[in-house]
């Protein structure tokens, strides 16, 4: 230790990153937390002396707001149905693409990954056509199978399934790539040993593939869970939360309160409640997975 090294030189190396994170992440988050204890609204936007400190009032109001519970119910519906569907679709696609009988796996990987890199705004326009009650392809296909047409985005019962279907299609490619990487890291010799022991394809999948994929599963479910809880862009672009608030998500409620009505104090409270929900969801899920593994 020389007399110059009062502070570890490592601090100098991480300082730029720390300062950036501090200024652009921790400070705004702290600001938002303070904001959530005020009644910042359109009056306060005009003149700051109309701002009041209200303590936990925003949180109390939020928990009494039927709209918040509707939004929470919709979000949980989306996560509970869309999350597993999305993971299953990714796993299925990864298994197919990774199968040794598939020719040109690189081509299929790329094609299946395309929705992920496509702009959601463009995807939403195309899917609105697909969902069109009269001219849409989906209803045309249903018609061929003998089903009555569905008003996908206009019927409160079908709007959320429609959003889920689109979100799964849009997002499964990313997790698929993660699963492929996980699959390729499983040593071949395990499968060879299982074959010699006479295990069929399903048992190999059940007793080798799934356990070996456990860390990948943890990562994929956590990332999907966190991402899906923050559902915003799909309903914002497709339905604006309608019909009859059936696709209103917590994040969309936060946006509407904050930027449509400019109740920033209330919207900040929504943001922190959403953060706590995501934290709790992710914590539970990772504990469940770890406990099992």
Partner 1 sequence: MLDVIRGWILGAWLFLLVACSAPPPGNTLHFWVMGREGEAVRALAVEFERRHPDIHVKVQQIPWSAAHEKLLTAFAGDALPDVIQLGNTWIPEFAALDALRPLEGGDTADMFPGLVEGSRVAGRLLALPWYVDTRLLFYRRDILARAGYERPPATWAGWRAAMARIREQAGPDQYALLLPITEWQVPVILSLQAGSGLLRDGAQWGDFRGPAFRRAFGFYLDLFRKGFAPALAEAQMSNLYQDFAQGRFAFYITGPWNIGEFQRRLPPAVWDEWETAPLPGPEGPGLSLAGGSSLAVARSSRRPQAALALIRFLAEPERQVEFHRLTGDLPTRRSAWESPLLRDAPHTGAFREQLGAVTPTPGIPEWERIAAQFAHYSEKAVRGALSEEQALTELDSAVDRILAKRRWLLARSPAGAAP
Kindly tell me which residue out of 35, 36, 37, 41 binds partner 1, with binding defined by CB under 8 A: 41
Kindly tell me which residue out of 76, 108, 128, 155 binds partner 1, with binding defined by CB under 8 A: 155
50 binds partner 1 (CB under 8 A): yes
* Nearest distance in Å: CB 145, partner 1: 21
154 binds partner 1 (CB under 8 A): yes
Q: What is the DSSP letter of 47?
A: -
* Nearest distance in Å: CB 243, partner 1: 4
259 binds partner 1 (CB under 8 A): yes
Of the candidates 182, 172, 183, 214, the residue with the CA atom closest to the CA atom of residue 85:
172
CB atoms within 10 A of CB 126: 11
Which is nearer to partner 1, 105 or 154 (by Cβ)?
Answer: 154
> Which residues have C-beta within 8 Å of that of residue 200, sequence separation ≥ 6?
none
> Which residues have C-beta within 8 Å of that of residue 84, sequence separation ≥ 6?
none
Stretch that binds partner 1, among 39-47, 123-131, 135-143, 273-281 (CB under 8 A): 39-47
46 binds partner 1 (CB under 8 A): yes
If binding means CB under 8 A, how many residues of this protein chain bind partner 1?
25
Site mask, partner 1, residues 260-279, x = CB under 8 A? xxx-----------------
Q: Which residue has the tokens 């990562």?
A: 219
Kindly tell me which residue out of 105, 161, 227, 243 binds partner 1, with binding defined by CB under 8 A: 243
Stretch that binds partner 1, among 5-13, 34-42, 191-199, 207-215 (CB under 8 A): 34-42
Which is nearer to partner 1, 225 or 264 (by Cβ)?
Answer: 264
Kindly tell me which residue out of 233, 242, 277, 286 binds partner 1, with binding defined by CB under 8 A: 242
Q: State how far the Cα of 201 lies from the Cα of 70, in Å rounded to an integer.
A: 44
* Nearest distance in Å: CB 134, partner 1: 8
Helix/strand/coil (H/E/C) assignment for every residue in 242-277: CCCCCCCCHHHHHHHHHHHCCCHHHHHHHHHHHHHH
146-181 burial code (b ≥16 CB/10 A, e <16): eeeebbbbeeeebbbbbbbbbbbebbbbbbbbbbbe
* Nearest distance in Å: CB 230, partner 1: 19
Q: Which of residues 101-140 bind partner 1 (CB under 8 A)?
A: 133-134
234 binds partner 1 (CB under 8 A): no
**Secondary structure of residue 32 in the 3-state scheme:** helix
Which is nearer to partner 1, 61 or 289 (by Cβ)?
Answer: 61
Percent helix, strand, coil in the chain, to 5, is: 75, 0, 25
Kindly tell me which residue out of 33, 52, 96, 227 binds partner 1, with binding defined by CB under 8 A: 52
258: left (phi over 0), alpha (psi -120 to 50) or beta: alpha
Cβ atoms 159, 153 nearer than 8 A = yes
161 binds partner 1 (CB under 8 A): no
Of the candidates 142, 118, 144, the residue with the CA atom closest to the CA atom of residue 132:
142
Kindly tell me which residue out of 79, 89, 138, 151 binds partner 1, with binding defined by CB under 8 A: 151
Q: State how far the Cα of 25 lies from the Cα of 234, in Å rounded to an integer.
A: 25
Cβ atoms 261, 190 nearer than 8 A = no
Site residues (CB under 8 A) for partner 1? Answer: 39, 41-43, 45-47, 50, 52, 61, 133-134, 151, 153-156, 240, 242-244, 259-262
């Amino acid at each position: 230790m020389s007399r110059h090294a009062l502070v570890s030189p490592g601090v100098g190396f991480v300082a730029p990153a720390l300062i950036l994170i501090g200024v652009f992440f921790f400070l705004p988050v702290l600001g938002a937390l303070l904001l959530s204890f005020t009644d910042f609204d359109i009056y306060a936007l005009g003149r700051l002396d109309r701002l009041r400190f209200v303590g936990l009032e925003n949180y109390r109001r939020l928990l009494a707001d039927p709209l918040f519970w509707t939004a929470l119910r919709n979000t949980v519906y989306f996560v509970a149905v869309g999350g597993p569907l999305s993971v299953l679709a990714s796993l299925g696609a990864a298994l197919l693409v990774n199968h040794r009988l598939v020719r040109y796996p690189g081509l299929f990987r790329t094609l299946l990954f395309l929705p992920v890199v496509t702009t959601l705004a463009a995807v939403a326009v195309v899917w609105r056509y697909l969902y069109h009650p009269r001219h849409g392809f989906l209803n045309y296909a249903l018609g061929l199978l003998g089903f009555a047409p569905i008003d996908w985005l206009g019927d409160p019962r079908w709007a959320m399934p429609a959003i889920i279907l689109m979100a799964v299609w849009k997002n499964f490619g990313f997790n698929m790539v993660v699963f492929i990487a996980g699959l390729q890291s499983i040593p071949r010799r395990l499968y060879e040993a299982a074959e010699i022991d006479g295990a069929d394809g399903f048992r190999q999948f059940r007793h080798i593939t799934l356990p070996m994929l456990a860390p990948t599963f943890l990562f994929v479910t956590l990332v999907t869970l966190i991402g899906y809880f923050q559902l915003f862009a799909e309903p914002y672009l497709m339905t604006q939360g309608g019909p009859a608030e059936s696709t209103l998500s917590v994040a969309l409620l936060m946006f509407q309160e904050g930027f449509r009505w400019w109740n920033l104090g209330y919207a900040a409270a929504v943001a922190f409640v959403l953060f706590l929900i995501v934290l709790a969801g992710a914590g539970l899920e990772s504990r469940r997975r770890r406990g099992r593994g």
